[in-house]
Amino acid sequence: MKFNSVTEKLPKHLHKFIIEQPYSDYTAQNQSVWRYVMRLNIQTLKKIAHDCYINGLDKTGISEENIPEMDGMNRILKDIGWAAVAVDGFIPPNAFMEFQAYNVLVISSEIRTIDHINYTPAPDIIHEAAGHAPIIANYEYAEYLRRLGQIGSKAISSPMDHEMYESIRLLSILKENPNSSKESILEAEAQVNKLQSEMGELSEMAKIRNLHWWTVEYGLIGEIENPKLYGAGLLSSIEESQLCLQNNVKKIPYSIKAASVNFDITNTQPQLFVTPDFSSLSVVLEKFANTMAVRKGGIEGIQKLIASKKMGTIKLNTGVQISGTFKTVINDGDTPIYFQTIGSTALAHEGTELIGHGVERHPNGYGSTIGYLKDISTLIQDMSPEDLKKHGIIEGKTTRLCFEGGIIVNGKVITGKRDIQGKIILISFKNCLVTYNEQVLFEPSWGIYDMVIGNIISSAFAGPADPNSFDDIYKISKQKTTKILYSDKEKKLHELYKLVKFHRVNNTNEFDILKSVFKKVVKNYPSEWLILLEIYELIYNKDLSLMNEVYDQLSKLQQNKLYTKLIIDGLDLIIKK
């Protein structure tokens, strides 16, 4: 990957999702699909999209003629502080959000097939590049997108979220590939429907994904009675961009309630949310963030991490952070007093790993007490040397610490760590026994006991405190986007598309060649409509004889309901041009 001033800030654990854009794999038909969708959308969106969309196309280096090259986009995007990278379809939600937090758009390198020209459930370059990129030229919206990424990357998931992600990814891959069998698609759809019915209470990630969907993907802006489009799903869909403003699609004022409204990625949306302006998006986002464990912490926060069964972090009020997979928490009422992780764990302070306390030190889990010393008003972190001596916390001496809630730590003090303000944040013991009532939580044979200092869990969030602490934060899906295998006949069709494009780009008037192409299409590809529109465009009002022949063939194809509106809209483009 070629890094620039924006992408060079990406942490290494995100690099594995980035792929080289397979530009040479795009067929001439793919290029024609891009051109058709873009020309039609731009004509429509001039009237119904937010004003910044059309201007944003130029500012982000996107033209209607050719599928954009990522390198070219990045040379322009960096001027507004953003960048784009190519990825393989859907990536894990937290990773997606984290890219966004670094001002980087993830763009699926695939492009929809002609059979899905109206709408595709799979992320594709029309949706990602032509839908998302232009709007980020608006500063208020770009800032909302960045903050959504920052907050969303900390959202805690449920195990069901991951299953749903994998199922939707598989379904989108199968639906977009013409080589997929109907049986495999039906089976994948059934699995998605089954999971949707079993999701239960929505996780933080599910809720913030809903907010993302109803704003970034399917958002409307302005007045309820006459809103404009700004969501990428609407801006990139021929069908929905024209249908979404109709009265049968319910328009709802955007609020935090949208977080609890689920969506179906395989169907058009029955309702849409309208924000009065872009700044209001950030207001709602902050309200939602205030409900999340990243800001609330407490027993509920750590319980969410335990239920997620994924790596997460708790932060204590001293700034100490523990990152790992949390297994259990002991609580005294609503107050957590001890926690335990399993597997690789790292300790940090305010986002930086504590020296000597990475996964090498804690490869098999980690546990520590939280809370206040019993009958002692001074907090450990605030103790002076005299206080430490008074309470027996002296290097080389064995001490017994009794905590409120019933945790007892009994061991020989080895050393401690302080933060830059001089407050104690960790004490290490040897020959240490930690108990809760009659339960042994740590015994001397296990080695050194490192006790973090803190009284309350002030924050809990997905992912590590210091990304450099772990080698593998996100898993890449085993379901890969499959390359479409074209038959020899289809390859010959693509060559015909390429020939037509050559004549358009070079502004030739070689109508005999175009007539030959037309005859071959009618004979060998009787349902092919897009290339006929491109031929018709080149000969319009120039070769009336051929023009009538092509029009007659388009009229025949127009009888098929699948092509009726596509052809009518295409002809309208040509006439208006």
pLDDT at 238 over 80: no
Q: Compute the average pLDDT of residues 82-87.
A: 90
pLDDT, tens digit, for every residue of 33-80? Answer: 999 999 988 888 888 999 889 888 878 878 899 998 888 888 888 888
- Architecture of the 7-211 domain: Orthogonal Bundle (1.10)
Domain coordinates of the chain in residue numbers? 7-211, 296-469, 488-576
Q: Compute the average pLDDT of residues 8-24.
A: 90
- Measure the CA–CA gap between 142 and 134, rounded to whole angstroms: 10
- Measure the CA–CA gap between 405 and 546, rounded to whole angstroms: 89
* CB 466 within 8 Å of CB 346: yes
pLDDT at 520 over 90: yes
Q: Taking the C-alpha atoms of 68, 72, 77 and 81 in order, what is their torsion angle to the nearest 10 degrees?
A: 140
What angle, 0 to 180 degrees and rounded to 10, lies between the N-to-C axes of helices 564-576 and 544-557? 150
Residue position matching structure tokens 């930690």: 434
The reported pLDDT for the residue numbered 61 is: 78
The reported pLDDT for the residue numbered 1 is: 67
pLDDT, tens digit, for every residue of 286-313? Answer: 999 999 999 999 999 999 999 999 999 9
Comparing 191 with 119, the larger pLDDT belongs to: 191
153 forms bridges with which residues in the sheet? none
Q: Compute the average pLDDT of residues 441-466.
A: 97
Question: Taking the complete model, does pTM exceed 0.75, yes or no?
Answer: yes
Residue position matching structure tokens 């001089």: 422
220 forms bridges with which residues in the sheet? 229, 274
Could you give phi then psi for residue 3, rounded to 5 degrees? -85, 150
- Measure the CA–CA gap between 63 and 47, rounded to whole angstroms: 19
pLDDT, tens digit, for every residue of 420-430? Answer: 999 999 999 99
- Measure the CA–CA gap between 122 and 265, rounded to whole angstroms: 9
Task: Count CB-CB contacts under 10 A for residue 285.
Answer: 22
Task: Count CB-CB contacts under 10 A for residue 483.
Answer: 11
pLDDT, tens digit, for every residue of 223-235? Answer: 999 999 999 888 8
